Chains A and B, each alone.
Chain A
Amino acid sequence: MNFMDSKNLGRGNLFGQKIIAAGKITYQIGVGGVSPSGDAFQVDVGSTPNASPMTYPIVITLQNGHFQVTNSPTKIAIGDVLTWHTEDKGTRGFSVSAQNTSGYSFDSTAMADNSVFTHVCGHFGVLEWTGTYLAGGTPKTVTGKITTTVPKLSTPAERVAYQASLAGGEIITLKDGIVDKPVVSITVGQTVFFAIQSSIGFSIVQSGFQPQKLRVT
Chain B
Amino acid sequence: MSDLIVALDSTSATQLVNAAEAALGTLASSGSGHLGPFGVNWSVAANFSGGSAGLTPPKTISLNTIQFNYQIKLSFELDLNDFLPHGCLPQVCVTIPFIGQVCTPKICVEWPTVTIPLSYSDALKFSADFNLNPHLQGNQWLVDLVIVKVPDLQLSLKAAAIVTALGAVIGAAISVVPLIGPFIGVVVAAVIATIGLAGALGLLGDIITPFISGRTFTLVKQTQTLQLLPAASALEPAVNLTIAALASQIAQSDKPELVVSANFSV
Q: Do chains A and B touch in the complex (CB under 8 A)?
A: yes
A contact residues vs B (CB 8 Å cutoff):
1-2, 11-12, 14, 16, 18, 53, 55, 57, 59, 79-81, 83, 85, 87, 113-116, 118, 120, 122-124, 148, 150-151, 153, 162-163, 166-169, 171, 173, 188-191, 193, 195, 197, 211-212, 214, 216-217
Among all A-B residue pairs, the 8 with the closest Cβ atoms: A122-B178, A124-B181, A2-B178, A188-B181, A122-B179, A216-B171, A53-B100, A195-B96
Q: A216-B168, A217-B189 are in contact. List 13 more A-B contacts (CB 8 A).
A: A2-B178, A18-B98, A115-B99, A120-B179, A122-B178, A123-B178, A153-B183, A163-B90, A166-B89, A169-B104, A189-B179, A214-B171, A216-B167
Question: Is there contact, CB below 8 Å, between B175 and A120?
Answer: no
The B interface, classified by DSSP as helix, strand, loop or mixed, is mixed
Q: How many A-B pairs with Cβ below 8 Å?
A: 113
Closest Cβ neighbor of A148 among chain B residues: B181
A74–B179 Cα distance when bound, in Å, is 36
B103 at the interface (CB under 8 A from A): yes
Can you name 28 A-B residue pairings with CB atoms under 8 Å? A1-B178, A11-B107, A12-B107, A12-B178, A14-B104, A14-B105, A16-B99, A16-B102, A55-B100, A57-B105, A81-B101, A81-B102, A114-B98, A118-B104, A120-B107, A123-B176, A150-B182, A153-B183, A163-B90, A166-B90, A167-B92, A189-B89, A189-B181, A189-B182, A193-B94, A195-B99, A214-B171, A216-B171
- With beta carbons under 8 angstroms apart, the residue of A123, A151, A214 that contacts B172 is A214
Number of interface residues of B (CB under 8 A): 32
Chain B nearest CB from A123 CB (Å) reads: 6
Question: Is there contact, CB below 8 Å, between A151 and B182?
Answer: yes
Question: Is there contact, CB below 8 Å, between B171 and A150?
Answer: no
B24 at the interface (CB under 8 A from A): no
Question: Is there contact, CB below 8 Å, between A14 and B99?
Answer: no
Within 8 A of A (CB), among B167-218: 167-168, 171-172, 175-176, 178-186, 188-189
B contact residues vs A (CB 8 Å cutoff):
89-92, 94, 96, 98-105, 107, 167-168, 171-172, 175-176, 178-186, 188-189
Question: Is there contact, CB below 8 Å, between B91 and A85?
Answer: no
Question: Is there contact, CB below 8 Å, between B185 and A116?
Answer: no
Q: Taking A148-B181, A188-B179 as contacts, is the C-beta distance between A87 and B99 under 8 angstroms?
A: no
A212–B172 Cα distance when bound, in Å, is 12
Q: Taking A116-B96, A122-B179, A193-B94 as contacts, is the C-beta distance between A14 and B102 under 8 angstroms?
A: yes
Q: Taking A153-B186, A162-B182, A171-B94 as contacts, is the C-beta distance between A85 and B105 under 8 angstroms?
A: yes
Question: Is there contact, CB below 8 Å, between B102 and A118?
Answer: yes
Chain B nearest CB from A81 CB (Å) reads: 5
B168 — which chain A residues lie within 8 A by C-beta?
216
Question: Is there contact, CB below 8 Å, between B182 and A153?
Answer: yes
B91 — which chain A residues lie within 8 A by C-beta?
167
A14 — which chain B residues lie within 8 A by C-beta?
102, 104-105
A57 — which chain B residues lie within 8 A by C-beta?
103, 105
Closest Cβ neighbor of B180 among chain A residues: A122
Closest Cβ neighbor of B102 among chain A residues: A16
Closest Cβ neighbor of A175 among chain B residues: B98
Closest Cβ neighbor of A85 among chain B residues: B105
Question: Is there contact, CB below 8 Å, between A116 and B104?
Answer: no
